[in-house]
Structure formats: structure tokens, C-alpha cells
Structure 1
Amino acid sequence: MQMIAHNPSRGIYPATSDYAHAMEVAAPQRLLFVSGTMGLDETGKPGTTLDEQLALIWSNLRAILASAGMSVDNIVRLTSYLRDASFVEANQNARLAALGGRAIPTTAIVAQTLREDWLVEIEVIAAA
């Protein structure tokens, strides 16, 4: 499988270094669609801070990906649902750290989560 980022230099605004406009996945054998994942521990309790929830989200995503024989290196698309727009920088930094700086297509949406103490929810698509 080959992943090719597409960031046209004409006819569209430039992509910044933290995301790609599009990701072509050549010859994938498997696709994994991961539902929105929250910053909950194994008992279902949310982290008490934004940073704790982001760490739990990425730990949970790693566990889900591993169950499919994948890792964060297989993520080709990510959508973040933020309870507050002020969470954007922390969310971006956590994503970049988790992906080792690898840029992928991303979208961040400010939305009301189902519970007030769920601060961020992230869904991904992975390919192998």
C-alpha cells in the first residue's frame, strides 16, 4: 500500500504543515472505519482535563488499531469533534505527536458532545 498526499499549489489555498488536503491510498487491502472515540478510561470514566482526555483518546485509538493489526501509521483520515473552539491547539498538538508529525486530511468541528464532561471525540479511517 502506498499513501500519497495531494496538496495542489494552484487553484486552492495552501495546506499548512499540520494537514494534507487529500490522501491517495494506492492498493489498500483493508479499510478500518473507527467510530468516534472519547477520552474515557477502561471503566468508562472521562479524564478530568483536556490533556488527560486527549492522552486517553490516543491510547484508545492505538488499542482499536492494534486489534485490527494496524497502528497510527495506518490512519489516512481524521475528524475531531471539540466541545469548545479553544481546544483546537491542544487537539492539534496531540494529533501531531501521536502521528509523529505526519500530515493527513483532518477536519475539526466544534459540537455539543453527548455529555458535558466529554471534551473531545475523534474518529479515524485507517488503511492497510
Structure 2
Amino acid sequence: MQIVPHSPTEGIYPATEDYVHAVEVRGAERLLFVAGTMGLDARGVAGKNLDEQLRLIWSNLRTILADADMTVDNIVRLTSYLRDASYATANAQARVAALGGRAVPTTAIVAETLVSDWLVEIEVIAAG
């Protein structure tokens, strides 16, 4: 499988170091669509703060991906749902760390989560 980033530099606003406008996936045999994943522990209890929830989210995503014989390297698209816009920086930092600095198309949306204790929810698409 080959992942080809596409971030044109003319006629559109510039991409950033941790963001690309699009990726083209060539030769993938499988696509995995991961539901919104929260910062809940194995008992379903939300992490006590934003940092703990982000840590749990990425741990949960790794577990889900591993079940499909994939890793975070297979993520080709990511959407974050933030309960508050002030969470954007911490969310971006956690994403960059989890992906090892690899840029993927990403969208962050401020939304009310179903449960007030859920501060961030992240869904991904992975290809392999």
C-alpha cells in the first residue's frame, strides 16, 4: 500500500506541518472505519481530565487497530469532536505524538458529546 499526500500550494490556503489537505491510498486491500472512540478505561469510566482522556483514546484506538492487524501507521483520516474549542491544542499535540509526526487529513469539530464527562471523541479511517 502506498499513501500519497496531496497539499497543493497554489490557489488554496497552505497546509501545516501536522496537516495535509488529502491523502491518496494506492493498493490498499482493506479499509477500516473506526467509530468515535472516547477516553474511557476498560470499565467504561471516563478519564479524570483532558490529558488522561486523550491518552485513553489513543490507547483504545491502538487496541481497535491491532484487532484488525493494523497500527496507527494505517490511519489515513481522522476527525476529532471536542467538547470545547480550548481542547484543540492538547488534542493536536496528542495526535502528532501518537502518529509520530505523520500528517494526515484531519478535522476538529466542537460539539456537545452525549455524556458531559466525555471531553473528546475521535474517529479514524485506516487502510491496509
* TM-score scaled by length of structure 2: 0.99
Match of residue 93 from structure 1: 93
What whole-Å deviation, never above 9, does each CA across 1:22-49 have from its counterpart, x for those lacking one?
Answer: 0000010000000000000000000000
Query: Does the alignment pair 1:61 with 2:61?
Result: yes
Which letter maps to 2:99?
Answer: L
CA distance in 2, matches of 1:93, 1:22: 20
Which SS does the other structure have where 1:124 is aligned?
A: strand
**Residues 17-32 of structure 1 aligned to structure 2 (within 5 Å):** 17-32=17-32
- Kindly report the root-mean-square deviation, in angstroms, between the aligned alpha carbons of the 2 structures: 0.3
Structural mapping, 1:108-123, within 5 Å: 108-123=108-123
Alignment match, 1:102: 102
**Deviation string for 1:72-113 (max 9, x for gaps)?**
000000000000000000000000000000000000000000
Give the equivalent residue in structure 2 for 1:10.
10
TM-score (normalised: structure 1): 0.99
Give the partner amino acid of 2:15. A
Looking at structure 2, the residues matched to 67 and 56 of structure 1 have their Cα atoms a distance apart, in angstroms, of 17
Q: Give percent identity, aligned residues only.
A: 72
Amino acid aligned to 2:29: Q
The 4+ residue runs of structure 1 with deviation greater than 6 A are none
Partner of 2:36: 36
Give the letter aligned to residue 112 of structure 2. Answer: Q
Structure 1 distance, partners of 2:116, 2:31, is: 32
Return the letter of the residue paired with 2:12.
Answer: I
User: Within 1, Cα distance between the matches of 2:9 and 2:91?
Assistant: 27
Structure 1 CA distance for aligned equivalents of residues 113 and 123 of structure 2: 14
| One-letter amino acid matched to 1:115 | V
Instruction: Tell me the equivalent position of 2:78.
Output: 78
Listed as ranges, the gaps of 5+ residues in structure 1 are: none
